[in-house]
Amino acid sequence: MVVARLGAEFELSSAVGVHDAMLAALTNRDHGIVVDLQEVSFMDSAGINALFDMAERLHGRQQKVVIVLPERAVVRRVAELVGLGSTVGICETLDEAVAAVPPADPA
């Protein structure tokens, strides 16, 4: 399983690169990715679209996206407004998110 921890901003200037790096980090043996958004203080439509696109692509590969977004997180309201939770799993803690994605299949 891959865990991606994102920093302060997930927006236009970083979204494509981060999106591509997260997808590249996954192998066919992984069951999904955990995206930790706890420290993200700003996320624009490019960041939201990157998460939706990644979830769609991984769904086709039978993999899933689980994000860490506590109730207190700055961008939690944005995620709720756009319905991100209908496409990806949302967990309050990193431990919960890691538990929601099974370990990678053995080589």
pTM of the model: 0.93
Helix/strand/coil (H/E/C) assignment for every residue in the chain: CEEEECCCEECHHHHHHHHHHHHHHCCCCCCEEEEECCCCCEECHHHHHHHHHHHHHHHHCCCEEEEECCCCCCCHHHHHHCCHHHCCEEECCHHHHHHHCCCCCCC
pLDDT of residue 106: 83
Strand order in the sheet with 64-68: 2-5, 32-36, 64-68, 89-91
φ, ψ of residue 18 to 5 degrees: the values are -65, -45
pLDDT of residue 97: 97
Stretches in the chain below the pLDDT threshold 70: none
**How does pLDDT run across 56-79, given as a tens digit for each residue?**
999 999 999 999 999 999 899 999
In order of their start, the domains of the chain are 2-100 (3.30.750.24)
pLDDT of residue 19: 92
Whole-number Å distance between alpha carbons of 92 and 9: 19
